[in-house]
Copies of this chain bind each other. A is one copy, B any other.
Amino acid sequence: MKPVIILVSPQMGENIGASARAMKNFGLSDLRIVSPRDGWPNEKADSMSVGAIDVIQNAKIFNDLSSALADLNFVFATTASSRDINKDHLLSKKIPEFEIPKGKVGIMFGRESSGLSNEEISHANQILTIDTSLEFSSLNIAHAVGVIAYEFFKIETRDDLENAQDLASKEELEYFFDHLFGNLQKKGFFKIDEKTPLMKQNIRNLFARIPNLSKSEIQTLRGILSSFESKL
């Protein structure tokens, strides 16, 4: 179980470098960065990575979150707390007991100033929260990466949770959303422009939460949509 680490719009190179070092401490190597504020490559990231320069050099850079998640099957969003979002919070200390679905797993971390947006969180299957003191929950991002990588490192090989289904990728789920939102737009579902992003986010949240969504289930969902279109 070697999850991909996705840093979303990180601001400081030092934190990217320190994150890479913490990843390597706990056996992780696949780092993806979405829209780093100061561009890429970043000298401060290089120097803070110390012995983990290979992680920095192999990092993949993306311009948008969907591309960064496209090939993943299950995605965690780390947040301090988001009670307004209807997703369960998995506490980091429960990671070793959590039944992580088979397939490619990613963990998103937000920008230093404000974390992940609700829209970004809506791409995730599961929210992950590090249980901190309620009085001071603002963790340095590299520390958050370190703690999560540390917990994943506790999971030795664990192949007892076989799921025979061929899992859908995030990209396939995106096609479904495109299809659904396009149809809803045509049908006048989104009546008030300002509310449209929030409505889309709520719909995303709902479907993103289905565990182990398979390729054939995505086909079913798209078949439902096509069926609604057919007699227009």
Contact = CB atoms under 8 A, between A and B. Distances in A.
Nearest to A228: B228
Interface residues of A, number: 71
A25 B139 contact: yes
Contacts of A130: 150
A189 B228 CA distance: 8
A86 interface: yes
Given A147-B150, A206-B221, A161 B89 contact: yes
A146 interface: yes
A228 B163 contact: no
Interface of A: 18, 21-22, 24-27, 50-52, 81, 83, 86-89, 91, 93, 129-140, 142-143, 146-147, 150, 153-154, 158, 160-161, 163-165, 180, 183-184, 187-189, 199, 202-203, 206-207, 209-214, 216-217, 220-221, 223-224, 227-228, 230-232
Given A18-B140, A24-B136, A207-B210, 6 more contacts: A26-B133, A27-B132, A83-B164, A93-B154, A150-B150, A189-B223
